[in-house]
A = this chain, B = another copy of it.
Amino acid sequence: MNEDHTRTPLDDSLSQNSSTVGPKSLRVDARRNRVRILDTALSFFAAEGLSVRIEEIAQQAGVGIGTVYRNFPTKELLFEAVIHRYQQKLVEEAESLLDHDDPGEAFFRYITRVIEGGAANKALTAALSGTEIDMETVASGISDNLRDVLGKLLARAQQSDAVRADIGADHVKALMVGTILAIEKSADEIGLPVGIISVICDGLRTKPI
**Chain A, 173-209, CB within 8 A of any chain B CB:** 173-175, 177-183, 185-186, 189, 192, 195-196, 198-204, 207-209
A170 on the B face (CB < 8 A): yes
Q: Are B200 and A186 in contact (CB under 8 A)?
A: no
With CB as the reference atom, state the residue of chain B lying closest to A204: B199
B164, B185, B196, B207: the one contacting A131 at CB < 8 Å is: B185
A87 on the B face (CB < 8 A): no
A122 → chain B, closest Cβ, in Å? 11
Count, chain A residues at interface, CB 8 A? 35
A129 → chain B, closest Cβ, in Å? 4
Q: Is the interface of A mostly helix, strand, loop or mixed?
A: helix
A50 → chain B, closest Cβ, in Å? 12
With CB as the reference atom, state the residue of chain B lying closest to A183: B174
A115 → chain B, closest Cβ, in Å? 10
A203 to B182, CA, bound (A): 16
Q: Are A130 and B171 in contact (CB under 8 A)?
A: no
Q: Are A170 and B182 in contact (CB under 8 A)?
A: no
A183 to B204, CA, bound (A): 17
A166 on the B face (CB < 8 A): yes
A179 → chain B, closest Cβ, in Å? 5
Q: Are A199 and B200 in contact (CB under 8 A)?
A: yes
Given the known inter-chain contacts A199-B167, A203-B201, please indicate yes or no for A181 contacting B186, CB distance below 8 A.
no
Q: Are B202 and A207 in contact (CB under 8 A)?
A: yes
With CB as the reference atom, state the residue of chain B lying closest to A173: B186
